[in-house]
Amino acid sequence: MQVVKLPRMLYPQPRVLTPSRNDVLVLTPWLAPIIWEGTFNIDLLNEQFRLQNLTVGITVFAIKKYVAFLKLFLETAEQHFMVGHRVTYYVFTDRPDAVPRVALAEGRRLEVLRVPAAARWQDVSMRRMQMLSDFCERRFRREVAFLVCTDVDMRFSDHVGVEVLSPLFGALHPGFYGAARQAFTYERRPQSRAYIPWDQGDFYYLGGLFGGSVSEVHRLTTACHQAMTADRANGIEAVWHDESHLNRYLLDHKPTKVLSPEYLWDEQLLGRPAVMRKLRFMAVPKNHQQIRN
């Protein structure tokens, strides 16, 4: 009889009585993991993801002069985002001719999606939900399994991989991850569909990083767009626009995974606390003269 050869991986045994981190919360009350450095084994996760043979989409809006941030975003994503996996970059822009050419690794491609600009940045921000909802239905569901939705004025500075993927994920806002819910800048006016009372709320999620399966992102973006449309008809605009509606949605529809502030940080404003073992995705300091030029 022949010996059956099976693939094997060598890694430290998980220890039931030894927590992965004891300085931060790693599990929500609804049993969703909170992802920090030290809470996952990326080699195991990569192997499991490769067996599924899936593609990840990442969306970014480079409208008007914000196209200036796109080159750094793409170059650093090639160094740190989903390395070794198939990725499609979806760049929404009103200036397709200004999209930079960046060398992409094998299995990775860039799709430029032309969209109209808007007079106010608030309108650009809020229209993202409508555009994402439309494209989930029109093409994303046929091309990728997961979507990661991000801001463009950012750079990847360390590993961001398949550990973030889940049916529905949000990221903790770096300015509020240690705050009480009464300090959160939720929409507090009952007239808005984004309204959250003072005695409610789990976390404050930022609008610059969220995602999940295409079907869940479609549900989220459609619901937020419909809520913003209803607000507009009632003559009200949520205090933090699409981010306010995202927080209302994630309060009602709990995310299946929560990303720690490692995944979107501003070191210039917030320094580097001891709990931040990694700074993975970071705000780019704004050079407004450069943007104008």
Residues annotated as catalytic (active site), given as ranges = 243
Q: Looking at 81-199, list the stretches that DSSP marks H as alpha helix, in order from N- to C-terminal side.
A: 121-135, 141-143
Distance between CA 122 and CA 237 in Å, rounded? 10
C-alpha distance from residue 83 to each of 1, 24, 57, 58, 73 (Å): 41, 27, 13, 13, 15
* Side chain identity at residue 5, one-letter code: K
Assigned token pair, 280: 């993975």
Among 207, 90, 214, smallest CA distance to 146 is for 214
The SS3 call for residue 223 is helix
Q: How crowded is residue 33: how many other Cβ atoms within 10 Å of its Cβ?
A: 18
Distance between CA 102 and CA 86 in Å, rounded? 16
Work out the end-to-end distance of the chain between its first and last CA atoms, rounded to an integer number of angstroms: 73
